[in-house]
Amino acid sequence: MLTVGIEIGGTFTDLVAIGPAGVTIAKVPSTPARPDEAAFHALAAAGIAPRDITEFVHGSTVATNAVLERRGARLALLATEGFRDVLLLGRQDKLKLFDLRYRKPRPLVAREDAMEVAERILADGSVATALDVEALAPRIEAFLARGGYGAVAICLLNAYANPSHEQALAALIARLSPGLPVTCSHAVTQEFREYERASTTALSAYVQPVLDAYLGRMESRLVADGFAGDFSVMQSNGGRVPARAMRANAVTALLSGPAAGVMGAVRQAGLSGVRDVITLDIGGTSADVALIADGRPDMARDSLVDGLVVQMPMLDITTVGAGGGSIAWVDDGGMLRVGPRSAGADPGPACYGRGGTQPTLSDAQVICGRIRAGKTLAGGLVMDEAAACAAFAPLAARLGLSIEAAAKSVVRIVVANVVAAVRLVSTERGRDPRAHVLVPYGGAGPLHAAAVAEELGIARVLVPPGAGVLSAYGLLAADNTLLAARTRRRVIGPGAAEEVRREVAAMRDELAARLDAYGVVGERRLEVSLDMRLVGQAFEIGVALEGDPDEAGLLAAFSAAHERIYRAPVDTRARAVEIVSYRVGLHVARAGLPGLAGARRLEAPRPGPFLIEDSTASIWVPPGWTAEEDEAGNLLLTRDS
Write down the pLDDT at residue 376: 83
β-partners of residue 315 are 299
Write down the pLDDT at residue 255: 78
Output the DSSP codes for 558-627.
HHHHHHHHHS----TTTS-EEEEEEEEEEEEPPPS------S-S-SS-EESSEEEE-SS-EEEE-TTEEE
Q: Tell me whether strands 460-463 and 625-629 are parallel, antiparallel or unpaired.
A: unpaired
Give the C-alpha separation, 237 to 259, whole Å.
7
User: CA distances (Å), 142 to each of 136, 146, 177, 550, 639, in order?
Assistant: 10, 6, 11, 55, 69
Quick check: 351 and 388 in contact, CB under 8 A?
A: yes
User: Where are the domain boundaries for CATH 3.30.420.40 in the chain?
Assistant: 3-67+214-255
User: Where are the domain boundaries for CATH 3.40.50 in the chain?
Assistant: 71-210
Give the pLDDT means over successive 10-residue stretches in the chain (641 positions).
Answer: 91 91 89 89 95 94 82 91 94 82 88 95 95 95 90 96 97 95 94 94 92 92 95 94 87 85 95 96 89 90 86 89 91 91 85 93 94 83 93 96 97 95 90 95 93 96 94 94 94 96 96 94 94 93 92 95 86 92 94 74 77 87 93 92 75
> CB under 8 Å to 259, separation ≥6 — which residues?
59, 234, 235, 236, 237, 238, 314, 315, 317, 474, 478
User: Where are the domain boundaries for CATH 3.30.1490 in the chain?
Assistant: 479-588
Look at residue 541 and give its three-state secondary structure.
strand
**Assigned CATH topology for domain 3-67+214-255:** Nucleotidyltransferase; domain 5 (3.30.420)
How far from the centroid of its chain's Cα atoms is residue 573's Cα?
Answer: 40
Give the C-alpha separation, 344 to 69, whole Å.
14
Give the C-alpha separation, 224 to 242, whole Å.
19
Q: Which class is domain 479-588?
A: alpha beta
Quick check: 381 and 354 in contact, CB under 8 A?
A: yes
Spatial CA neighbour of 443 closest among 260, 623, 620, 272: 620
Write down the pLDDT at residue 602: 67
Quick check: 315 and 288 in contact, CB under 8 A?
A: no
User: Which DSSP symbol is given to 71?
Assistant: -
- Please name the amino acid found at residue 344: G
- 1.10.620, 2.40.370, 3.40.50, 2.60.40: CATH of 71-210: 3.40.50
First to last CA, the chain: 46
How far from the centroid of its chain's Cα atoms is residue 475's Cα?
Answer: 12
> What crossing angle do the helices spanning 470-477 and 256-270 adopt, rounded to 10°?
80
Give the C-alpha separation, 322 to 288, whole Å.
9
User: CA distances (Å), 392 to each of 48, 79, 328, 331, in order?
Assistant: 40, 52, 9, 16
